[in-house]
A and B are shown apart, each in its own frame.
Chain A
Amino acid sequence: MKAEDINKILILDQGDPVAGQLLAKAYAVFGAETEYVVLKAHKTHNIALRMMEQTVREENPELVLIGATALGEEIAPALGVRFRTGVAAHCVDIKVNDEGRLTFLIPAFGGRVIGEIFVPDAKAGHPAIATVKPGIFQQRISLYDGFDRTDIGSAPSVRIIDVDALAADGSIPEGSKTQGAFRLAEITPRQRAASDIASAELILCGGYGLGNEETWHKLEALADKLNGAAACTRAALDAGWGCMEDTMIGTSGRAVSPEIYVGFGISGAAHHTCGIAGAGRIISINTDKDAEAFAASDYKGVFDAEQVIDALLDQIK
């Protein structure tokens, strides 16, 4: 599909910053000529899916953008089958190539490889669908408090459809909690980390090279004292030191873009580094002089993580 054929873009808003990130990105690529429709999602995926399906039928967008959350990852591929169209998963970029074609860039092998994906036959009725991990696109537009014109030049034409308002109208059929033959029985909050890594300007991230639980707790204390957030890698999470899963960075975790990121004892497999590509400055401390993380760093130090953490704690006393 040629990018110039895109007249309308539908974005699913799941109540997190990703919808604003998607809108800002789409506006940067497709500009004011395109119409933007934002559907506020219901939290239950069968309802959100039904509402999205209905909205796609009514609005006929050529492109649908969805945040790659647990909700979005269930809706996007289902819409792909229902509308007989292609879904590009976990895009790290959306652009128009030299031939004017809509191009998605997606990671494979945990980010080691990036591939171009096209949905050549997409059109209204069979829209191209793409998911994007929250945090991949840094720039965002606040959706409901007006638009920051300095970010985007001029306000795009955005229409917001509020599912909750529709629900109040009775537009959502009763029995809305059933999921096929499954019914939502219970919602329990998950244990959350003290600080949110998505909005942190400073992230101190610990990898398996921290070595033990005590050092992880030192890193947490240090992050707290520096007004930053402590984060972890998959390996550190799996080590069972008490790292919280919502602070895990990487392809199976979250993407972040803090101003400063300091990695301690992180080998730097692509799984992890593709989650920090948007960071302002990256500092890596690792005893292994050949650590892959160093190639993705602005500053490096071949030291034991614990020694540097101890020195930092010492110096901020």
Chain B
Amino acid sequence: MSEKLSLQDIILTLQHFWSKQGCMLMQAYDTEKGAGTMSPYTFLRAIGPEPWNAAYVEPSRRPADGRYGENPNRLYQHHQFQVIMKPSPANIQDLYLDSLRALGIDPSEHDIRFVEDNWENPSMGCAGVGWEVWLDGMEITQFTYFQQVGGLEVKPVASEVTYGLERLSSYIQDVNSVFDLEWAAGVKYGDIFGEPEYEHSKYSFEESNQDMLFKLFDTFETEAKKQIKNGLVHPAYDYVLKCSHTFNLLDARGAVSVTERAGYLARIRNMAKSIAKVFVAERKKLGFPLLKDEELRNKLLKEDK
């Protein structure tokens, strides 16, 4: 590489690469969430028999990881580049390595390893098997074959590739602090995100209104449950995401005791599980339209559950 890719170049390169592999380029989903997996483009679409290939950038908020913009690698909000392909292609590892080549990373000049890391998100009833990918000792990607989402078996299996954009970019641009990353020509990451990092950390750790957050959690939960009953999957799921983010804010504040914590996570999990079931039922009512294999489609539509 003669000229270093800016962070937005990196995003553009990945988008271009994965769109050529048949992925739809989605946009970031507009509700707060802790990880790209929680976007409905992954969480909901991973469930059920329909194929789904998508790629998108997802800003992910983790209030407890905020460091007032002072730690070079820890952030209240970071960016994930998320790729989901269902069913998992036989050459998914090769595709991934080609995406690194597209970014100017020649694997034979580095040390790339697939190190076992099985992924779990108990609060969403999710579990998968896979690796973290190490580039010269640095974890740059989480690579997962989903086995379970929302408590349901994932069938066919979806493969998820999640790049940590800040980490990957720090490596490519060779900077020690994410705030020194070049987002676009002449504009640094810190110029854009330094102030929000400080403010969100200050808010999450010191200023948030706990009473309001506790009330909001209950309110969002009530609404989510009601809309699950109405079969309105997407509005219901938005409220589950809000519950999850509200819980994360309370957790960052240390407002949730260890005992209560398990209880809140179980409440979120139960909603996520109900939504997963309703989603499949609703897609079935629509006739699994994304399923192009007519024979399989008719067979599944006739099945009784």
Co-assembled chains A and B: no
What residues make up the interface of A, taking CB atoms closer than 8 Å to B? none
B residues at A contact (CB < 8 Å) = none
